[in-house]
Amino acid sequence: MVNYCFNCAAKIDKGSFCWNCGTSFEGIQQKPEDQTQSQEIPQVSYIQIPQEQQQPVSPIKNEEQLQLQNQYEPVVSYSQSVDEQLSTDMNPVLRKYSRPRNVWRIVYPILIYFGVSVIFGFIVSFVMIIGISIRSIANTGAVGSNGAQVFEENFLLVTLICSLACILIFGLIWKNDKKYLQKFINKGSGIGVTFLTILTFACLSLFITAVMGLTDIIKYFPSYDIVARALTMGSVTVQILSIGFVGPISEELLFRGLIHNRLSTWMPMWAAVLIGNAIFALIHFNLFQSIYAFLIGVALTGLYIRFRNLLIPIIAHIAFNMTSIVLRAVLEAAYVEKINYGSIMFYSVMAMALSLSLFLRLTKPAVPVVESGVDSTEY
């Protein structure tokens, strides 16, 4: 008679302990060598052996042992189930990093943002200078292009190309990051939420325009005038594409999608909101625009926290930028010399108050998923 271990199919000469895999049995299968494997197998109970006393399992040595293992392989008891292990790996709270790495995870997307701007800005400007020089030589026989002037005149086009590159890069990073975020449902994907978001941020844009017109505050910030002139130098179509659509998408991917979510994993929420939007304000590189950019960034972050849907702050950002572009284009086309900023402020405040009240009454915040099997894909 030959004794076989039910765990590794090794032969056991005597006793009820397998020296090959460290498994103990209260009973073992005994099988004559000249009988087939169809013999009835008695019930076997297992005794847990501490892990430190177990010996490593040796590889299967022959076909007979492989057949026995496939036929009599026991159910292994793990200290942690597969579902628990997956939930641990996907839990943002348990996905810890060291403090230097947390800081680096905030810094390197900003470096990418500026690096892309510098590299693509140089490439696009260089190509434009070469093209203008060739055309100038063909027409006049002399080179007549200024690099700084070419860059200033095509600033919006350069911005558009850089923003498209940033959307591609940050989109790939965001796709990986969102796998480790808490899943939510009821994320404000309805038409009503979209309409109220557009109305609120369009009114906010009109209100800021009215404040600037009534107080003439921009005369104390000459740097803002330089930036505003550069942003309005291109055609309306380029302004709509660059400032109205592509720019907001790249900025929301960076600041709400990456920076805010990464900050909130290792600091309080209020600190993540303040620090993330302070960075958002500083990248505008002029004091006046940084002031209201910080406030708008806080509002956009509040939208994201409420709905956990990156599409909502993207829509709000687009509405804010598009309102100022369309208003400027309409006023220039109508040759309006004097604007009643008081009326704009009054109606924008009234409409904003109405939309905010409806927004808070009719919308519900996103709810964390607590059960498995719920479709709650992050955007």
User: Which band of pLDDT confidence, cut at 50, 70 and 90, is reported for residue 252?
Assistant: very high
Q: Are residues 58 and 170 in the same domain?
A: no
Condensed to tens digits (0 to 9), the pLDDT of residues 316-332 reads 999 999 999 998 888 87
Q: What is the pLDDT of residue 272?
A: 93
Looking at the fold, whether 348 and 220 belong to one and the same domain comes out as: yes
Structure token pair of residue 75: 């159910």
Domain match, 39 and 114 both: no
Domain boundary among 43, 77, 111: 77
Q: In this predicted structure, what is the pLDDT of residue 120?
A: 82
Most confident of 53-62, 183-192, 327-336: 327-336
Task: pLDDT band for 171, please (50, 70, 90 cuts).
Answer: very high
pLDDT (0 to 100) of residue 362: 81
Which has more pLDDT, 337 or 58?
337
Q: Do the domain assignments include residue 373? A: no
Helices (H), the chain: 63-72, 82-89, 99-140, 147-153, 155-177, 191-215, 222-231, 236-239, 247-252, 261-263, 269-282, 287-307, 311-333, 341-362
Residue 16 lies inside a defined structural domain of this protein:
yes
Which pLDDT belongs to residue 189? 65
User: Alpha carbon 178 to chain centroid distance?
Assistant: 6
> 357-370 b/e with 16+ CB inside 10 Å = b?
eebeeebeebeeee
Q: How far apart are CA 10 and CA 302, in angstroms?
A: 63
Residues 210 and 347 in one domain: yes
Domain count, the chain: 2
Share of the chain above pLDDT 70, in %: 67
- Give the DSSP letter of residue 245: I
Which string of DSSP letters, residue by residue, matches 163-186? Answer: HHHHHHHHHHHHHHHGGGSPPEE-
Token output for 111: 């470096």
> Can you give the pLDDT at residue 154?
74
Residues 168 and 306 in one domain: yes
CB 362 within 8 A of CB 196: yes
Residue 36 within any structural domain of the chain? yes
- From CA 10, how far away is CA 327, in angstroms rounded? 83
Residue length of the chain:
379
% residues pLDDT > 90 (the chain): 30
In a domain, 93, yes or no: no
Q: Is residue 303 part of a domain?
A: yes
- pLDDT for res 297: 95
**Average pLDDT over all residues of the chain:** 76
- Does 370 map to a domain? no
Per residue in 23-60, pLDDT (tens digit) is 665 544 444 444 444 445 444 444 444 555 545 544 54
Same domain for 227 and 197: yes
Residue 10 within any structural domain of the chain? yes
Residue-level pLDDT at 143: 55
176 lies in the same domain as 67: no
In a domain, 378, yes or no: no
What is the residue range of 334's domain? 99-181+189-365
Q: 285 and 227 in contact (C-beta within 8 Å)?
A: yes
Which pair of tokens denotes residue 41?
């197998």
13 pLDDT tier (thresholds 50, 70, 90)? low
Query: pLDDT value at position 168?
Result: 94
Note whether 237 and 107 are same-domain residues.
yes
Is there a single domain that holds both residue 159 and residue 281? yes
What is the DSSP annotation of 335-352?
A: T-----HHHHHHHHHHHH
Burial class (CB in 10 A: 0-12, 13-18, 19+), 9: buried
Q: Are residues 119 and 166 in the same domain?
A: yes
In this predicted structure, what is the pLDDT of residue 85? 38
**CA 241 to CA 237: how far, in whole Å?**
6
User: Beta partners for 170?
Assistant: none
- The DSSP bridge partners found for residue 30 are 3
- Specify whether 201 is located in the same domain as 73: no
Are residues 196 and 275 located together in one domain of the fold? Answer: yes
Q: What is the mean pLDDT of residues 148-154?
A: 66
Report yes or no: 365 and 190 within 8 Å, Cβ to Cβ. Answer: no
Q: If you average pLDDT over each of 15-29, 145-159, 255-269, which comes out highest?
A: 255-269
Q: What is the pLDDT of residues 64-100, one digit of tens each?
A: 555 555 554 444 333 444 333 333 333 444 457 788 8
> What residue type is assigned to position 290 of the chain?
S
